Structures are given as C-alpha cells and as structure tokens.
Amino acid sequence: MIFITGILREERIMNNAVNKVQGSAGMKKIGWRRVFAGTRVLKPNKERINSPFRVILEKEIADQVRSWRFIVLIAIIALTTLGSLYTALNNISTAIKPDDPTGSFIFLKLFTITDGTLPSFIVFVSFLGPLLGIGLGFDAVNSEQNGGTLSRLLAQPIHRDYIINAKFLAALTVISVMFFSLVFLVMGIGIIATGIPPTPEEFVRIVFFTLLTIVYVAFWLNMSIWFSVRFRQPATSALMGISIWIFFTVFYPLIINLVIKAINNPAYHGNPDYQVFLEKLRLGLMRFAPNVLFSEATSTLMMPSVRSLGPLTMEQMLGAIPGPLPLGQSILLIWPEVTALTAATVLCFVLAYVPFMRREIRSR
C-alpha cells in the first residue's frame, strides 16, 4: 500500500511539471502572471520582431551601399576631398597672417583655403553634392514599377507610405554617414599633419557645416525622387535632375546678370542708393538658387570673418572693428538661408509623397 501511494505521488509530480512547461509556452497569450501560488515563473526570451518599415529600410540601405553608382560617386567625392585637403595643407602656412583677425581659426582653413589649382573642400561639396543626391534617387520608384516589384510589394499587408519613406530615409542615412566620415577624415588628417587640434567652436562649426551639407544634398535627393514618381523612365528623371542642376549652376546667374543689366539706368549711376537697390535685387533673385543659399551659409559658418551677406554702405562700416563673428551671430546671420533650404527640401518631399500615395500602381 505504501509502495502504490509513492508511485501515485511521483506521477502527480510529473504531471504538474508537464503542465508547468506547457503553460509557459502559452504565457504570451494569457499574460504574465503566476499560474500557481508560490511558484516562480521564468519569462521566456522574446523573439525579435522586425516591423515592415524596418525591413524595407534595411533592404534599401543595402541596395544603395552595394550599387556601383554609389561606389563611383563616393570614390569621386573622396578623391576630390583628398585633393583639396592636400592643396590646403600645402598652403596653410601662407594663409596664416600675423594681422589676420581670424588667426585663431586655423583649423577651419583646411576646408576653405586654396591656391587656385583645385577648389576648396566647401566648393567641391557645393558642386558634387547635387550629383550625389540625384544619383541616389532618380530611379527610386520608376525602376521598381517597371520591373514589376512595386506592385508585388504593395500587394503585401504594409502601408504604402512605408515604401517612399524608407527610400528617402535609406538614402539620407547613407549620405549622412558618408559626409560625416569624410569630414572626420579631413579633421583626422589635419590634426596629424599640423599637430593643431580644433577648438570647441571650430568643432561645432564643422558639425553645423556637415548638417547643412546633408540638408542641401537631401533637397536634390527629394527632387530626384519626385521626378522618379512623376516620370516612368529612369533616364528621363535623371536627365531632368541633371538639367535643373546645370541650370542653377551655370545659366541662372547669367540670366540674373542680364536682367540687372537691362534694368540698370545709366542716369542713376552716381546715386549710391540706386546702386545698393540693384545689388539687393540681384542678391534677392540669386537666392532662389539652392547652391547660392548653400554657398552663403557655408562661407559664413566656415569663415568667421564674414560679417554680412549683403551690401554695406560706408556709414554702416564706419567705426566697425574687424574681427570674427561669434558662433551664435553667424548662425543668426545664415538662419534665413537654412530656413529656405529646409523648406525647399520639405516641399520636394511633399511633391513626391502626395502623387505616390494617390497614383494607381498596376503590375505589368
């Protein structure tokens, strides 16, 4: 009798253990609580669940990094960066003058000085940045639509805006990592070559310059994504982006100069107020070009000696002591340019986002 009682007790213990194991597998459904009083329940490891947006974002980043066009573009930008840095290092001793009011900002000269052989780093970024943005976004949508993969992707239970948001954020992430890497590379080589580290204000100015560069390239990226939504063929969208880039870089300043020359009245050449009016009008029209806004903002950030972005009269300059502007004053001076660039970037994204959300996408 005692033997039978022991067997029953052991069987009851085994059944309780099995029930505990089976109950722990269903913890996610019934909630975390104690099944039996006085029993400690161990939480199982939660499985990693990736959202659809995260999966699409990682896929787009991988596609951008592995593409040959990105490799070619980053190689061109890296070579031009090293060339401008080599020119700056060879001429930094001649650029430093004893009576220079900005002599304490020696490290910033690595990004701004040149001997005429090669442009400076900020000029290279202003010229090649749009090419990078256009190259990463001109076939973001139309290539997948022509290949039939976009309709298959939209057939899945995911939100449509995940696709265009992931494409923009993936390209923006790649651009941000690339420019921060290039800027820190220039800083590291500059510290090794000169032995002079940047001051805290110089470092903050360089970080603001990098962020402004990312916003500038994001404008061209959003514009190229808009063209990829608007036009069916990737060649057409790429041609439109490059055409607008060439127009603002080459032809737009020529058109503005012709307009100012046409409205210039020789009878008022001796009037200083009229000349100031013409110069303000020319600058106001030129600031519709994104490259002009970027050039004004970067030159003010990286060259603290710049104290104004418009014409000054002799009365305004009378009694002014030459010296560098503090960082806060430089940011206030370029705040309209930064706001205009940001607004143009958001506008281009909206122009791409709204048609993509409304258009009907069918398989081929």
The full set of domain ranges for the chain reads 55-311+322-358
Number of residues written out for the chain: 364
Q: What is the distance, to the nearest Å, from the Cα of residue 356 to the centroid of all Cα atoms in its chain?
A: 22
Query: Coil, helix or strand for 293?
Result: helix
User: What is the structure's pLDDT at 325?
Assistant: 82
* Confidence tier at 237 by pLDDT (50, 70, 90): very high
Report the C-alpha gap between 293 and 315 in whole angstroms. Answer: 27
Report the C-alpha gap between 165 and 298 in whole angstroms. Answer: 28
Could you tell me the two tokens for 238? 């790429």
Q: What is the dihedral of CA 127, 345, 245, 227, to 10 degrees?
A: 140
Q: Which amino acid is residue 285, in one-letter code?
A: L
- Give pLDDT tens digits for 65-105: 988 888 998 999 989 988 888 888 887 777 666 555 555 67
Q: Tell whether the model's pLDDT for residue 235 goes beyond 80.
A: yes
Mean pLDDT of the region 223-250: 92
Could you tell me the two tokens for 333? 């001076």
User: What is the structure's pLDDT at 88?
Assistant: 85
**Residue-averaged pLDDT of the chain:** 80
- Give pLDDT tens digits for 310-359: 666 665 555 566 677 888 888 998 999 999 999 999 999 999 999 888 87
User: What is the structure's pLDDT at 119?
Assistant: 84
What's the pTM? 0.80
Could you tell me the two tokens for 246? 């060439």
Q: Which of the pair, 155 or 285, is modelled with greater confidence?
A: 285
Could you tell me the two tokens for 306? 């710049």
Mean pLDDT of the region 189-204: 88
